[in-house]
Structures are given as C-alpha cells and as structure tokens.
Structure 1
C-alpha cells in the first residue's frame, strides 16, 4: 500500500478515489446513479474493485461482512436521497456491532440544499439523519476538507471503537477541478493503551484470585493471542460472546464458547471472584436475551474497552481501564508473578459447557450438531448468518478454530436480510468459500444479491433453512396464545430461483449428505444454494 501519491490536476471525484486507494481501501460496493457519475470517474483507472449489489441495503451489508471477515474497511457509494435511506439499516447494524465501513453519498447541489423546492431525491438534513447510525457524518463544503475528514474516519476505524462513518458530497463539488498535488497517507491511528497503575491493580487482583474468569467480546478479537496467553497464565476460563467467538480455539480446555445469557454461563460468572471483561459492552443481546435481568457479577469486575463511555454502561466495574483489549491482556500478563501457582479453570469451563449444552434443549442441540457438521467440512470458512433458528442456536453455543469465522445479524440491531450480502462481502474479502445460513423468510429480503455472487463468481454457499415462513415468530405467537397472523408465508421454489440466476442448487435429503454437498460447493467457482427443511435438520423428517 503506497504511503504517498503524486496526482495530476483532476476532479474531486477522481481525487476521492485516489485517496481511498491511498488509505488502503480495495473494494467499493455501490450502485451508480446520475447524481454520482462524477464520483465514479476515477474508478475505471483504479485498482479498487467496484461490485454492484442489487439494492443499497445489500451494499451496506456486504461492506459489513467484508470488514468482519477481514478486519479491513470497505466503502459503499450511494446516491442522494433513497440511496442513503436504504443504507441506514446496514449502518445501524454495523454501528451496534462496532463494525467499520465508509459510506460516501451524494447530496443535492449546494444552491438548492434546504430550499424545499422539490428537487429530485431531496430530503431534510440527510447528513443529520445519517449521523444517528454513524460515528460521525460530515457534509463536504470545500474540497480541501477531504484529507482531514478521511483522516478522522480512519482514526475511528483504527484507533477507537470502530463504527460507520458517513461522508456526504454535494453534486456540484464532484466535478470541481483540483490542482496537481502530492497526497500523503496519515500515520495509522493506534488505540489507547490502558493506564499502567490500573494494570498494576488488575494484575494484583487477578494474581490473587482463586476463581478468575475472562469475558471476551468482539473488541478482544484483534488481541486474541494475548488473551489466550493470559488465560493460560491465570488458569481462567474464557467466556466468548457471539462476536468474540474463536478468541480461544475450539478444543481449548479453558474455552467457553457459549452465551452469557444462558443460566449455566451466568452461574459461572457469579461464582467467579475476579472477572476481567475485555472488549465487551456487556449488552442485552449477548448477556440478557431472555430478559432475566442484567447479568450479576458479585466478585470484582475489571472492564477494559477502547470506548471510555461504554465502561460505565451495564454492569458497574470495580476497575475501569480505557484501552485496547489485547494491550491490556499483555500488560496484565507482564505484571503477573512468574512461576506463581495458579488454579486450573478447565474443570469449571467443562462443567459450564456441559450444563449449557443440556440447557439449550434438544432442538438447539440438533441445530448445534448441524453447525458442527458445516464446521468440520469447511473448518476455515466464515459462517455468516441471518436471524434464523440454527443461527440462534449457534449464538448460544458454537466453537470456532479462530476468530472472524462466525457472525450474524441476530445480535445488536437485529436486521433481517443481512446474511447473503454479508457473505458476499466476506467472500470478496477472503477469496475462499463462505457459508451463509438464512431462513426462507429473511433471505427473501435480499435474495437478488445472489446475482452479484454469480456475476463475481464468488464461492458463497447459501443454506436456506426452510420452515415456510417466520417460524420463530410463529412459535412465539403460539406460546403467547396469539392467533398466527402474517407468519405463514408462501415461499418460492428456491432451487429454481437459484438456477434462474445461474447458481448451482441442491436440496438436502439427508443429513449424511451435507458434508459432501459442502465439499462439492466449496470447489465450485460461483455460488451454490442448498435448501434444507427445518424438520429434517431437527431430526423430525
């Protein structure tokens, strides 16, 4: 990646593309429009790859999946008005799950902004609207602002809690010509290091603990090696949230890849005398999805997060440290006395996992076995989910060989339609096969994105979990004594639809055939759709 570039005299649209290249962005997801043609002027001569989804929502979810699978940032280009409003749901999902993306949108020309004169795509304060789903939103009023705004964006992506950033450019600025200049990439931002005195106290508390425990969230992924090393030094079990899965690899005796919403995991937390929470917001969808009341931490709670404000939301800490989770793990480990005898937390971890497996019940155990079959067949493939039964089961209990191999929209904002476009983004980022698990209801939100996977020959394996409607909501209605309304859907022939788009397609007729279908699909250039009846996956058909 170059650190500087000499640029000739060019338009702002061309200079924008050059800046994105310099900042390390290699992928843009977007749908061109008349209002953004000048934004595209430089792309044809750039190494940045442009992928065209079938809806702006697909562009945003794809940028999200790209970032989660790779740790790198992608951009999304959208038009004025409806292009941006279509992006708000993906931005909100990424905001809730601390996922970086750069959204660049056009807006009407400066002379008509705010005039209410009925211009095409006019909306009141589009930048202010986007700011509610972004770390910040900036409307460019002068081309000279561009380098500084991008530097601010990457400071968020690299050195703070990563979230979407929105850049809005008035139409009349894109074609403005800029003089020849050298552009220079700013020094990469680094997250803050935790306070040394705080690390001293954390190390003393953890070193004296008889039953230490680590909670690892998505913010711990970047420092996974340091967290695993600290767990081993402490003899501490590691509870991994949905976005923290894989911080300890599957099979690690200290690993607890199970949701802290489960009673079994809550009991483990409550029985621990010192709890170190690394990069986890201790939020509702991870820690209290069954509305049992906030998680209790009777022992000392040490919280580490790059977001100082988040440290004081949810469970109140005994010690709050602002900084990078990996740096904190390294700092604590360096301060622990060498050779001191440590408790062995593996028995506590194993007992919690056994109790959690029993607690989730037979249907979710069948779902977990289904996921394990996928993981065994394709151990290095990201498994990207929408909100569907098997994904809920995996969020409750699923082990990974490494981080960034399990993510979905059944946490945080909870947007349906996420799975397929996010899997496309992940496949673009990794180049390898990616498995998407989506329900027959949710997948219809963004089904046309299958065309993008075909177009780009991306090895996306879409498993459609079919229960003929919104099965989870239907079961909830049944349990609440509410007559089913709006949940039993007519569903299309997904295999015929897949073939119409040019994708391969197969129906799973028996669970024993799943591994073979996955292996065959992984070797194919282009997407494959596999339909599975929920009753079959649960052992009822």
Structure 2
C-alpha cells in the first residue's frame, strides 16, 4: 500500500529541517494544528511561550546568538497581531525572523463575514513591519516561497519575513518535499569605489571606524582592517563585543561627548553597517553629534546610504565583502597604520568611564562582575537602569554577549523571552535577563516557559518600584508624575509558584553570589531604592 501523500503542513516541517531549522517558537491553535501534523516526528524542537509576543522575542534572541533566522508558528489574527511588536523590534535591529502563520480559508478571505480570527487583510498588516509577506495558495509553490523567504532574510539587510497559509491549503497534498537553501552572494564594492576608499584610508593620519549591528559575525575582519589603518573602533549598542579586548576597541556610545570629540578630531571616519539611529548617536537629544566631511559609509541597504549623515563616499556592498576586498588591496596591505590609534582608543575609554558618572559606573562595574563570575554569560536587556548604563559603556567579552531593546524600536517585555531564546540558541552559555520591575510585568509569565524547557536563564529584576526613568523625565519637564508607580508583585512568590529558585538581594555582591549559587532557571530580585 502506498504511503499517503504528505500535506502542505508536513512538507513545510520537512523543508524547515532541510533548511537547518532546529527550533520553532509558537502556541498551537485550531488554525495551525495542520502545521503541527509532522512536527512531533521531526528533529525540530518546539518551544511554547505564554504569549505570541514572547514567541517573537524568543526567536529574536535565538537569532542574535546563532546568526540564523528565528522561526515562529502563530495562529491567524490575534496570534499574528501579538507577534507584530516582536517583528517590529527585529525589523529595527535587522534580525532575521521567519513568522509562519495561519490565515482563514481561501474562500473567506476579504469577505468580512466575521469568521474566527478574521482580519480585513492580514498580509497587509504584516507588511507594515515585515520585509516581505506572502499568502501561499498553491501547494506547488511552497518550496519556491520558502526559498524566497530565506533569500530575503539572508541575502540583504536582515529582518522579519511573514508567510501565511490558509487553513484549507495546509491540508492539501504537497507536490514536493525537497528544499534547497538559496545561494546568496553579498554585493561587492565596485573597483572604482574600492580604489577611492583605499586612497582615502592611506592618506588619513587620524582615522576612526564606527560599527553597527551590520558588523556582527565579522569580528576577525573588522579587527584586521582596524589594525591595518591604526583606527579606533567605536561600537554602537548592537555591535558591542565585536572588538572585545582589542587595544583599538572603544565600547562607548557616540552620544558621549568624549567619543564625539574623537570623531570630530579624526580626518577620516568609516561608518560600517550602522544606520546612525538617534538612540545610539543622540541619546540625549542635544543635536551635538557631528562628523568630519571625510566620511565613508558602507551598507548593504542602499536606502540607508541616503539617510542621516551624507558621506563623501557611499558604498553599497556587503560589509564582509568590502572588508575582504579592502584587506586584499595592495595599497592597504603596504600601508603603515597610524601609530597613535591604540593611544587614542585608550584615552577615550578612560574619558568615557569618567563621563558616564558615578551611578552608571557602579552599574557598569556590576555588569563586568557578572561576566567575571560567569564568563560565558549572555546579558539580554530591557529598558532599565543597568541597561541604560551598559549602552553608554560596557566591555562585552564577545559578539552577541550584550544586546537589548532599549535602543531603536525600544520595546518593553523583551528581555525575559529573548534571554530564553538566547540560552536555547547557545547551550552552555547562560543568559541573564536584565529586567525592570515594570517592564518585566509585560512578559512575566515567560517564567513558566523557562521552567518548561529548562532554559539556562537567570532573571535579574531591578526593582525600583515603578517606571523610575519616566518619573525622572516627567519631573525634569515640570510635569507632575502620574502613571509611573504600577504595583509590583512578590516576584519571589511568583517564581516559587512556577517552581523556580529565587533570592531577594540588596547589594551587588549578593547579586553575584546568587548568580553563582542558584540553580537555573532562577529569579533574583534586587531592591533598588536610590537610583535616579
């Protein structure tokens, strides 16, 4: 007897396996159960969050540490709308994410008859944040559509992609079960642009480099290129740790005055894979960030090259391709690097530590102590005191050991699920979720998800009894603070209810002890009554 023909849902799971997907994050529902038909027999691990926003944030954290797309299964309607916030954060930070959702049966689409989970145009809604959204109606096109999705996520500036499958199409027989990952090549810089860039670099006496999230996973090339020029390398939040421990590393925000002075005194600045977002370059909104006229910008996305500071030379190219070609350039290879690069970098590191102030220095010291105690840890942050300090200055031990949602799109509720995704993406590397008591309540239930999958995560709650940063801003603007003191639960009791170990602490030393001693997943609540 012949085996039954696989359905579209079963074929999808098989193709994801062939694409190297090992984990999907999602909450099954009546509109996605056909996607789950082949999942139990596959090699893919399924992680169930407590909310679809958590699924998206878990996929985000997983993608950041692995460099591979995070994958979500979400239901029609509210499942997708719950995921949109996470997709928007991924879009802002260029994180590859594949969101696979159901949609109502093809005969009902656009009819507005009030079917379960119905939206006027679900794909159009997804397109507001996705790089691409597609409705699969022909089973024969499944492999082609999936190939295009991976090509978009990996062939240019990464971001979220959405594929929706009508509930009736999920059940149809699949035409094919084979899938081949698309071959994508980074666009290379033109010979003319390379020649001009090499000339500008060899003529510079005081070069500097700015790197953003587009430089992730290119640490070796960035280091060799910086050494060839003798250029200090300033890393934005999403690039921290790429140059870890290197004498040319400046792990400080371009919003700091000392970093701005370094750039202003440079006779050449190369901006590599950075969009010049205000939350990195003008955090205090003082308009004081400027660059010298001799600016080279390199970005894989041409639209980014036309935004923000206008360069003397704009190069559309994959950053890895640009660095490889520059290092292979004869003029660069024979060039004598600037002799004072390391001294300039060290001076700015020292000035930055002084400029951030005593309170932030204390927070940064704690962050460095955490890595001293747990060298393999990944620190994943929400918008909270420790994260604000670290974004100004922190020496992360490696790429993707420090990331958060306090810049760019700026979601709350990010750190808890994203830390779970990071821990699952890199087994053996514990993740520390840095949380405020207010923001943690957005996704507090993900404690249960961590328990279910045994995630190697410590949830560090910085409890200052409300939205202290917003309260301070309201007071500074002569606005009577209101709405900034939401009640916090007894976090230890909630952790206990989920079966997690917990400890309440009042000092940095106690935080470190708890991180060393408590079995993970665990919760540590720090009671902060003095932070501004």
Q: Which residue of 2 aligns with 1:161?
A: 157
**Cα 1:77/1:271, change in 2 over 3 Å:** same
Aligned mates of 2:181, 2:346 — CA distance in 1: 47
Task: Give the match for residue 255 of structure 1.
Answer: 249
Contact 1:373 1:514 in 2 (8 A): no
TM-score (norm 1): 0.95
**Which ranges of structure 2 fall in alignment gaps of 5 or more residues?**
none
Within 5 A, what are the aligned runs for 1:296-375?
296-335=290-329, 336-338=332-334, 340=336, 342-375=338-371
- 1:272-287 aligned at under 5 Å gives the runs 272-287=266-281
Preserved contact between residue 14 and residue 177 of structure 2 (Cα < 8 Å): no
Check the 8 A contact 1:14/1:39 in 2, yes or no.
yes
Structure 1 runs (4+) greater than 3 angstroms displaced: none
Quote how far apart the aligned CAs of 1:294 are: 6.7
Q: Check if 1:468 corresponds to 2:458.
A: no
In structure 2, do the counterparts of structure 1 residues 192 and 143 end up closer, same or farther at CA, with 3 Å as the change threshold? same
Q: Is the 8 A contact 1:158 1:188 kept in 2?
A: no
- Per-residue displacement from partner, 1:102-158 (whole Å, max 9, x unpaired)? 001111111111111111111111100101111110011211221111111111222
State whether residues 208 and 233 of structure 2, in contact with CA within 8 Å, keep that contact through their aligned partners in structure 1: yes
Cα shift at 1:24: 1.2
**What CA distance in whole angstroms lies between the structure 1 residues aligned with 2:243 and 2:409?**
26
Q: What are the superposed Cα offsets for residues 276-297 of structure 1, whole Å, 9 maximum, x if unpaired? A: 1111111111111211227311
* 1:337 Cα deviation after fit: 4.3
The size of the alignment, in residue pairs, is 527
Q: What CA deviation, in whole Å up to 9, does each residue of 1:255-301 have, x standing for no partner?
A: 10011111111111111111111111111111112112273112311
User: Once structures 1 and 2 are overlaid, which stretch shifts more, 353-362 or 508-517?
Assistant: 508-517
1:72-87 equivalences in 2 (<5 Å): 72-87=68-83
Question: Which one is further off, 460-469 or 371-380?
Answer: 371-380
* Equivalences for residues 366-385 of structure 1 within 5 A: 366-385=362-381
The equivalent residue for 1:52 is 48
Quote the Cα distance in structure 2 between the aligned partners of 1:268 and 1:366.
25
Is 2:503–2:523's contact at 8 Å kept on the other side of the alignment?
yes
Distance 1:310 1:399 in 2: 28
CA distance in 1, matches of 2:288, 2:174: 55
- After superposition, the Cα gap between the structure-2 partners of 1:162 and 1:8, relative to the gap in structure 1 and judged at 3 Å, is farther
CA distance in 2: counterparts of 1:365 and 1:346, whole angstroms:
23
Q: Deviations over 1:298-354 (max 9, x none)?
A: 231111111111111101011111112222222222221426353321121122222
What is the Cα deviation at residue 370 of structure 1?
Answer: 1.4
Find out whether 1:10 has 2:24 as its counterpart: no
CA distance, structure 2, for counterparts of residue 269 and residue 8 of structure 1: 65
> Does residue 269 of structure 1 match 2:269?
no
Corresponding residue of 2:233: 238
1:170 maps to what in 2? 166
1:442 maps to 2:439: yes
Aligned to 1:64: 60
Q: CA deviation at 1:182?
A: 5.3
Does the alignment pair 1:533 with 2:527? Answer: yes
Q: Contact between 1:35 and 1:171, CA under 8 Å: does it hold in 2?
A: yes
Structure 1 gap segments, 5+ residues each: 1-6
Per-residue CA distance 1:240-268 (angstroms, 9 max, x = gap): 00001111113x22110011111111111
Give the superposition deviation at 1:403: 0.3
Shift of 1:8: 6.9
TM-score by length of structure 2 reads 0.96
**Contact 1:222-1:326 at 8 Å conserved across structures:** no
1:345-386 Cα deviation digits (max 9, x unpaired): 112112222222222112111111111111211122110000
For the residue of structure 1 that corresponds to 2:31, the secondary structure is helix
The yes-or-no answer on 1:26 pairing with 2:13 is no
Check the 8 A contact 1:158/1:190 in 2, yes or no: no
Taking the aligned partners of 1:16 and 1:75, their CA distance within structure 2 comes to: 12
- 1:220 counterpart residue number: 215
Kindly indicate whether the alpha-carbon contact (under 8 Å) linking 1:211 and 1:343 is maintained by their aligned counterparts in 2: no
The yes-or-no answer on 1:410 pairing with 2:413 is no
Cα deviation for residue 183 of structure 1 reads 1.0
Q: Distance in 2 between matches of 1:428 and 1:262?
A: 35
Question: Shift in Å at residue 208 of structure 1?
Answer: 1.1
The answer to which of 463-472 and 280-289 deviates more is 280-289
Mapped to 1, the partners of 2:299 and 2:388 lie a distance apart of 26
